[in-house]
Amino acid sequence: MSAELTDDMIVCRCEEVTVGEIKEAIREGARDIVGVKRRTRAGMGLCQGRTCEKLVQQLLVQELGISPKEAGTSSARPPVRPVTFGELAKGEVL
Amino acid sequence: MLEKDVLVIGAGPAGLAASIEAGKYGASVLLVDLNMQPGGQLFKQIHKFFGSSAHRSGTRGYDIGKQLLKEAEESDVEIWMQSTVIGIFPGNKIAIEKGLDSGEKEMVTMQAKKIIIATGASENAIRFKGWTTPGVMGAGAAQTMINVNHVKPGQKIVMLGTGNVGLIVSYQLMQAGCDVVSLIEAAPKIGGYAVHAAKIRRAGVPIRLQHTIIEAKKGADGCVCGCVIAQVDEHFQPIPGTEETIACDTIALAAGLKPTMDLVKLAGCKLTFNGPFGGYIPLHNERMETSCEGVFVAGDTTGVEEANTALEEGKIAGISAAEDLGLLTADAASDKRAEIWDRLHSLRLGPFGERRMIEKEVVMDEYKERIGTPSPIQ
């Protein structure tokens, strides 16, 4: 929001990605949520971006002067929630 | 493979209403939810709802939840709790991590003729220095702790945000025996209803308008021991020199919600961006069907609103699923939907509701333009 952002502030808690790392990814060419995710792993952890996606969106909007819509949204792939290999191995095959 | 007419994902007001409706017309319904208890947010709502008598005004969310569970049972809805949908695949195949009574989990693959996604919404985070310190949490999380788990999140609470969630949860924290020290609001006026704000004011709790939290202070134990607030200018930027430190052990964030979209995305439903509804949402028509044939949505997943609108949208989704299964004639289904849409119109009146009514129409117009006829899951 409004408070000053220091580069060491954590944005994605699951993957421990900081404001500085996300700004760096944007400097390297990330233009949307997916671009930041691919470069930094922000949104790839346990919560799958439920907490940080909006914060990453705000950084993109602020750094690039784009709209929240242009910042896009991440894609989802199965499994969308954490599941153990043991459970997967025991389960039925699709 | 397990087969069902309808799979409903999410057992909140929208999912329960959809299950009841589809079950009522004879569909076999499986309702899954990852939580321990069904009801979604309803069982946390110990206050009385507003609105017309058709929408159970004056009834507590808690009691609405109990009534819905009874109706679900009467409609022969099968409910799996602590069960999580982890994949949706072509041919309407669904992978579910099923919670067993033993506490263990088991992977189950099933096929559903119709899928209704009612996965609700999640709370927005706000970043400020120290926002990841233990003791900073969503207002909804604090509400779950007091009203569901009967555990106080802390003793001295600062609430950020004065929308209805911020106001109601602050009051319920006081009822639970917490000391709510202050409410902080960046806007120049209170966001929620005056009746809720009045309760806070009568209790003597200050509401600090045009202020924001700029830092969570960490104590020797590593947890929150206070917060620094500052006045903001008209661009919501903190004004240097206006900082104040407030002692507290909990900072609750009531900064709005965003629709939970993972399964909608997984099914491949076409999305649209809608600011007032909380961000990207699935396009849907007046039958609550998405761009994917046989995939319906209802409740906060379609845009953040309230329990009442979620219930009504759930009913529409259930009716449409039953219609497509041949359990209800097209005429009967369309009459029933028209009645519900009338009620939804009356719910979406007033300064808060009207904008949502307009936005709903925008979403459905875009559906007509971009989708027209839905196609199967790819």
Whether B48 contacts B58, CB under 8 Å: yes
* Confidence at B50, pLDDT banded by 50, 70, 90: low
Q: What is the mean pLDDT of chain B?
A: 94
- For residue A40, tell me if it sits in a domain: yes
Q: Which of B86, B105, B109 is facing A92, going by the closest CB pair?
A: B109
Those residues of chain A whose CB sits closer than 8 Å to some CB in chain B are 1-6, 9-11, 13, 48, 50-52, 54-55, 58, 68-69, 73, 75-81, 83-84, 87-88, 90-94
**Shortest distance, CA B157 to any CA of chain A (angstroms):** 20
The C-alpha R_g of chain B, in whole angstroms, comes to: 22
Predicted confidence (pLDDT) at residue B303 exceeds the cutoff of 50? yes
Q: Is there a contact between A6 and B129 if contact means CB atoms under 8 Å apart?
A: yes
Q: Which of B84, B212, B273 is facing A1, going by the closest CB pair?
A: B212
The C-alpha R_g of chain A, in whole angstroms, comes to: 15
**Shortest distance, CA A58 to any CA of chain B (angstroms):** 10
* Confidence at B45, pLDDT banded by 50, 70, 90: confident
In this prediction, residue B84 carries a pLDDT of 97
Distance CA B205, CA B162 (A): 12
CA dihedral B205, B210, B215, B219 (to 10 degrees): -10
Q: Which residue of A has its CA nearest to B137?
A: A51
Whether B306 contacts B296, CB under 8 Å: no
Q: What average pLDDT score do residues B161-178 get?
A: 96
How far does Cα B81 stand from its chain's mean position? 18
Whether B152 contacts B178, CB under 8 Å: yes
Q: Give ipTM to 2 decimals.
A: 0.92
CA dihedral B370, B336, B18, B14 (to 10 degrees): 70
In this prediction, residue B166 carries a pLDDT of 97
In this prediction, residue B57 carries a pLDDT of 66
- Whole-structure pTM value: 0.94
Q: Is there a contact between B127 and A5 if contact means CB atoms under 8 Å apart?
A: yes
In this prediction, residue B53 carries a pLDDT of 54
Residue B297, SS3?
A: strand
Please give the tally of structural domains in chain A: 1
The whole domain housing A64 covers: 10-70+80-90
Whether A15 contacts A29, CB under 8 Å: no
- For residue A1, tell me if it sits in a domain: no
Predicted confidence (pLDDT) at residue B335 exceeds the cutoff of 90? yes
* Confidence at B66, pLDDT banded by 50, 70, 90: confident
In this prediction, residue A2 carries a pLDDT of 43
In this prediction, residue B56 carries a pLDDT of 62
User: Which residues are registered as beta bridge partners of B109?
Assistant: B95
- For residue A5, tell me if it sits in a domain: no
- Which domain CATH number covers A60? 1.10.10.1100
Tell me the H-state helices in chain B: 13-24, 61-74, 139-147, 164-175, 194-202, 262-267, 307-324, 330-347, 350-370
Q: What are the CA-CA distances from residue A87 to residues A74, B34, B84, B97, B374 (Å)? A: 26, 16, 13, 8, 34
- Residues of chain A with confidence (pLDDT) below 50: 1-2
* Confidence at B47, pLDDT banded by 50, 70, 90: confident
Longest CA–CA span in chain A (Å) reads 51
**Shortest distance, CA A41 to any CA of chain B (angstroms):** 17
In this prediction, residue B51 carries a pLDDT of 56
Q: Is there a contact between B97 and A83 if contact means CB atoms under 8 Å apart?
A: yes
Q: What average pLDDT score do residues B162-187 get?
A: 96
The token pair at B67 is 């009534």
CA dihedral A15, B267, B15, B362 (to 10 degrees): 100
Q: What average pLDDT score do residues B142-160 get?
A: 96
* Confidence at B74, pLDDT banded by 50, 70, 90: very high
- For residue A41, tell me if it sits in a domain: yes
